[in-house]
Amino acid sequence: MCNAATVSVPELISLLEKIPSYNEYRSCDDAAGKEREYRRALGLLLKDCGDYLLNIAEKKSQILNGDMQAMIDGLVDRISVIFRRLDRDGMVCLVGDHDTTIAELEDLDVRLILLVEETMELVHNLEADVPAASWFQSEATRLSRDLATFSEMTEERNYLLGLGWESEFAMK
């Protein structure tokens, strides 16, 4: 999909095409399918980032010190938290006033797309040949912050779609 964790124009277009039309979320069945496609597309791009980081950690383990390895592990852990949030079970339905909720979801989507782009760029800045210590001091910190923000926004989307953490315990 991604070469060296950079986002390509076709991938970005594919992700943009999968952004749901929330006006069609009036039915829970329609919403579930569309939401699943979008979440998978986001997850695939993040998976590429995690795979790239793990690949560097594996191939350059003799170059990376313990702190660098720990930073990569922490970044991959943040990505896995996002995966769990993207994979939240439950019935998808808009909460509250639909127009307000749709506007909030659309705003979150714009911010998520921008974060995906930045995440891919930051990951790509860690060169596979020579991992630079400076990357771990600046970009890794920014990437960690971006992933935390991404995770929070994913949870906010979950809430707006009726998929708060309590949805995991709903009767099926």
Neighbours of 103 (CB within 10 A): 12
> Alpha-carbon dihedral of residues 18, 24, 25, 27, nearest 10 degrees?
-130
Contact 85, 39 (CB under 8 A): no
The Cα–Cα gap between 1 and 15 comes to: 12
What pLDDT was estimated at residue 131? 61
Q: Which of 120, 168, 124, 128 is nearest to 147 (CA)?
A: 120
Torsion, Cα of 84, 14, 114, 133 (10° steps): 70
User: Residue ranges of the domains in the chain?
Assistant: 25-165
Question: Distance between CA atoms of 41 and 102, rounded to whole angstroms?
Answer: 20
Its pTM stands at 0.86
- As a three-state string, the secondary structure of 119-130 is HHHHHHCCCCCC
* Euclidean distance between CA atoms 38 and 51, whole angstroms: 20
Give the tokens for residue 128: 């596979």
Which DSSP letter does residue 62 get?
T
How far, in Å, CA of 110 to CA of 6, rounded? 19
Report the pLDDT value the prediction gives residue 1, as an integer from 0 to 100.
40
Tens-level pLDDT at each residue, the chain (172 residues) = 444 445 678 888 889 999 999 988 767 777 888 889 999 999 999 999 999 999 988 888 888 899 999 999 999 999 999 999 999 988 888 888 989 999 999 999 999 999 999 999 999 888 765 567 889 988 999 999 999 999 999 999 999 999 976 655 554 4
